Structure 1
Amino acid sequence: MLDLLTTVPSAETIKMLKTVIPIGVGIASAYFVVKTIRDDGYSLDKSIPTVPIRRGDYTHDYEYMENPGAFLKRCEEKYGPVFNCNIRGAPFTVISGAIVREIFTNDDFSFKDAAEDITGSISFTQSIVKSCKDKDAATKVLHEIIRDNVSNQIPLLTPRIVRQMTGVLERDMGTCDRKLVENPMLLILEMVSTAMVDVFMGAELAKNPEVVQTFAWCTYDFGQVIGPQVRASRFTKWFIRMKYIYLFNPLPKHVKVLIRAATPVILQRRQEEAEAVAKGVPYNRPMDILQGLLDDFEKYNFIDIDDVCGFLVVLVLTAIHSTTDSCTNMTFYLAAYPEVVEPLYQEQVEVLDQVAKERELERQEKLKSGEVRSAKDFEGTELDPKNDRDYTANVLKRLEKMDSFIREVMRFRMEKLRLEHMAMKDITLSNGMVITKGKKIIVNVRSVHQDDKLQDGNAAEFLPWRFVGKNKASTPSVGYLSFGMGRHACPGRFLAVQELKTVASLMVSRYSKFEFQDPTKTTEALLALIGSNVPTGLYFTSRVPENAPTQAV
């Protein structure tokens, strides 16, 4: 399903390109020259030290990539918590240590504007929505959609996510003995995409291969725009934007797929709603984001169904790209640290046993009180015994070791320099240094994620149970920036963590062993940058013998 199809351009297409490309290149070249002339540059505050570029290098990227942690530590020790670097193809002021908090608590530092300046991601996503062309208004609407339709519904959404992900594993993997998955990201991508189609558009459309494929490939297209620009030269960034954003934007085709698939579903729902109103009975509204957008059409100021589907694609891009990447990386950690697999599995067994006992006690109390006449009456209800060992939100919430493992993976793996922001006016930091309006800063994540005091010691080690009984994987803090911090923290983090827990729970419950196809790629796999190619495949070994019945979930 996820194979990339290739097509040969038609004669008409080639003729059009001969006309359009020179014009586009001319316009874009003029834009590129203007932007280069007004180049970002460092902050005008000359008291901020600038790290010298190593002889023979053009930027600090070469030295940084050799050993990111060592490079940043050396810079901190020599230049202090604030210093200038030419990194990721652009000049940034690096912010470290205690000053990092100021970036997230000061609204005059903008993540959105930095993202647009560096990758054009806002222009890319907003190209497919008709309303909310202002990036701040669009962000506000996206946050409202997530809050209204996702964050408060996770307990109800979890069984559906589990069901869809389980179905993909059973179909694509079955039971196996050292089955090689050459690109684990494709397996994870299909699991996440199928689950998200259910959450976004309903269970029926989750059976539609074209919709699942477009969820997956619009994510791939997003990565093609964002990923290559992270450390690209200004010319390369210009070329990527011209190709994917202005000349050959791939997103409209994905919107058309959703419009085609959603239209009959919407018509059917409207008909059922009208019939319910005519009969004077409540309409049993489907629980998915599509229905939420239809119900609050005016609240969100949507224009038409094209606009609705455009926002659905934007939500897909924000929900699937990073989650798939994190889930894949987490699976590599299961292979790199095989000693964690059994403790995680045993924790699941213990929690499921406890939940089953609690449900049985509740059934007995209802029988004893006369509220329920016989055990048979529980069939088809929330207390149906056949559901005693389901993975519910309640079960996942109790998995403290799993939560700690996920938080530690995200803390340990997160790139040492990330979370770019732009100063929207001159901003004076607490140490007196000034970030000039229009200049960009980047957060030295190493300075907090590898700080012994913030991590209760041994910050340089991967300790899977570090956070047991402490902060949750979805809880941002100054020592844990995987989801940002403050009131601008990622609004979709609760769903993301629930998906991470689900993937990890299914993996350790179904497979007893994960092994690298190429063990020499272990370090590269664990610290791979978001959007980078998967460096090695994985072998999966089921908990049950070959050809035995699949373990019930």
Structure 2
Amino acid sequence: MFLLEESKNEEVVTTFAEFTSDLSALIKIPPFLNFFYPGLLNRILVSSGLYNPAIKHRNILIKYIKNQVCNRLQGKAKYGDSWKRPDDLLQDIIEQENIDFNNVNYPSLADKMLLFLFASIHTTSNGCANALMDLASRPQYMQELYEEQLEVHKEADENGVLPFEALDNMKKLDSFIRETLRLTGPNPKSFEPFRHIDKNAPASKISKNFVLFGAGKHACPGRYFAISEIKFFMHNIILKYNIRTESGKIEGRKLYGPTAYPSPSGIIIEKRKAK
């Protein structure tokens, strides 16, 4: 959770949804403009004027976190160790920053939250969309993945909720997702969804042939959570729906700088018939 009960506020939800798309629009600025005007993007992002898409969203977050920050700091000061700690991103940032009640830097708090938003929401949703598109355009793999998910779903409780450990048994789906996300490797233009199963290479593992999450000490620390989200998403889609394209093919992804956006092609989603 990013902001507990405020996460349900319509204005906050809109900011969560629009911030990434507003900022990502800058990626589509033609590279030649930055060639003629070095540092163009940096100048936009550090400006406080109308052309900086982050300012509007920062101000909205500040409006909603002020009371929460005050209440939390007061609660902690009053009740000490017996105070019930909110379990969300805002509280994590407050504790890491060791914030002084009399000198709260609200713009800094909001900026850190927006940074987490930008790093986590559109990246995971793009991964889900790309995996969905790859499966829709390759129906020959649907049955095999469906059978695996049926077997895995036997581990669900009476409410249909899977334990986290069930993710480890989605071997084929994990390999499919890694294949969707990869950029390099042997036969890079050939989609081979199960090539990673016997290579001890889960979708969250970094290597010289899998740089999506970076490398070394700077590798994305949220990659395990991101892959888990994609796997849970695909697990539910595969169990409940048949997905395909009208022609059996799909238009390629759109590349903007280092980002591969999902194909604009449409897909057909049909609910599976009950057996």
Task: Work out whether residues 514 and 539 of structure 1, in 8 Å CA contact, stay in contact via their aligned partners in 2.
Answer: yes
Q: Aligned pair 1:408/2:211, yes or no?
A: no
The match for 1:522 is 250
**Residue 253 of structure 1: SS of its match in structure 2?**
helix
Q: Quote the residue 1:476 is aligned against.
A: 206
Which position in structure 2 is the counterpart of 1:294?
A: 94
Q: Is the 8 A contact 1:511 1:540 kept in 2?
A: yes
- Tell me whether 392-401 or 262-271 shows the greater mean CA deviation: 262-271
Q: What is the SS of the residue equivalent to 1:540?
A: strand
Note the C-alpha offset of 1:471. 0.8
Q: CA deviation at 1:408?
A: 0.8
For 1:218, the equivalent position in structure 2 comes to 19
Instruction: Identify which of 181, 191, 213 aligns with 1:462.
Output: 191
Which amino acid is 1:499 matched to?
E
TM-score normalized by structure 1?
0.43
Q: Larger C-alpha radius of gyration, 1 or 2? A: 1
SS at match of 2:162: coil
> How many Å apart are 1:319 and its aligned residue?
1.8
Aligned to 1:342: 143
- 8 Å Cα contact 1:259/1:306 also seen in 2: yes
Contact 2:131 2:180 in 1 (8 A): yes
Q: Provide TM-score, normalisation by structure 2.
A: 0.82
Aligned to 1:261: 64
Cα distance in structure 2, aligned partners of 1:401 and 1:271? 50
Which residues of 2 match residues 31-180 of structure 1 at below 5 A? none
Choose which of 496, 502, 509 in structure 1 pairs with 2:226: 496
Report the Cα distance in structure 1 between the residues aligned to 2:152 and 2:94, rounded to whole angstroms.
Answer: 38
Question: How far off is 1:276 after superposition?
Answer: 4.2
Match of 1:252 in 2: 55
Contact preservation (8 Å) 1:223, 1:531: no
* Structure 2 contact 251–263 (Cα < 8 Å) conserved: no
Corresponding residue of 1:363:
none
Contact 2:175 2:196 in 1 (8 A): yes
Deviation at 1:239, TM superposition (A): 6.0
Q: What is the distance in 1 between the residues matched to 2:248 and 2:238? A: 23
SS of 1:200's partner is coil
Cα-Cα RMSD: 3.1
Q: Which runs of 5+ in 2 are unaligned?
A: none
Asked whether the equivalents of residues 227 and 532 of structure 1 are also in contact (C-alpha less than 8 Å), the reply is no
**Shift in alpha-carbon separation, 1:243–1:306, aligned structure 2, 3 A:** closer
Residues 136-192 of structure 1: per-residue CA shift (max 9 Å, x gap): xxxxxxxxxxxxxxxxxxxxxxxxxxxxxxxxxxxxxxxxxxxxxxxxxxxxxxxxx
- Measure how far apart 1:212 and its partner are: 1.8
What residue is the counterpart of 1:394 in the other structure? 165
Deviation at 1:334, TM superposition (A): 1.5
User: Between Structure 1 and Structure 2, how many residues are aligned?
Assistant: 267
Are the aligned partners of 1:401 and 1:468 in contact in 2 as well (CA < 8 Å)?
A: yes
Higher RCO (Cα < 8 Å, 6 or more apart) = 1
| 1:22-56 deviation line (CA, Å, top 9, x unaligned) | xxxxxxxxxxxxxxxxxxxxxxxxxxxxxxxxxxx
What SS does the aligned partner of 1:512 have? strand
C-alpha contact (below 8 Å) 2:130/2:263 kept by paired residues: no
Q: Which amino acid in 2 is paired with 1:400?
A: K
For residues 172 and 82 of structure 2, what CA distance do their matches in structure 1 show?
42
